[in-house]
């Protein structure tokens, strides 16, 4: 009975933010760490996207935007 209610709560708010393990499938959550998610079952690790960290090598669009502004090729 209690378990059921707890699960319900998690399903309402926590689960939405959490990620499932792509290897273990739905039902197995990835544990969230500061910069990554890890699966407790298979040790799968997924690194978070860091947008403000690592400024040293985080400008992939710097080259393209130079000189070719109006050119949008995809």
**Single residue of 41, 47, 64, 68 touching Zn ion by CB under 5 A:** 41
Strands 20-21 and 45-47, sheet pairing: unpaired
- Check residue 18 for interaction with Zn ion (CB under 5 A): no
Question: CB 21 → Zn ion: shortest distance, Å?
Answer: 3
Question: Are the beta carbons of 32 and 18 closer than 8 angstroms?
Answer: yes
The smaller minimum CB distance to Zn ion, of residues 43 and 74, is found at 43
CA gap 68, 13 in Å, rounded: 45
- Check residue 30 for interaction with Zn ion (CB under 5 A): no
CA gap 63, 66 in Å, rounded: 6
Residues within the interface to Zn ion (CB under 5 A): 21, 23-24, 39, 41-42, 44
């Amino acid at each position: 009975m209690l378990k059921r209610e707890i699960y319900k709560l998690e399903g309402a708010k926590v689960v939405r933010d959490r990620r499932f393990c792509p290897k273990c499938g739905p039902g197995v959550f990835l544990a969230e760490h500061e910069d990554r998610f890890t699966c407790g079952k298979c040790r799968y690790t997924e690194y978070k996207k860091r947008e403000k960290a690592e400024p040293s090598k985080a400008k992939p669009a710097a080259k393209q935007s130079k000189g070719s502004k109006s050119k949008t090729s995809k």
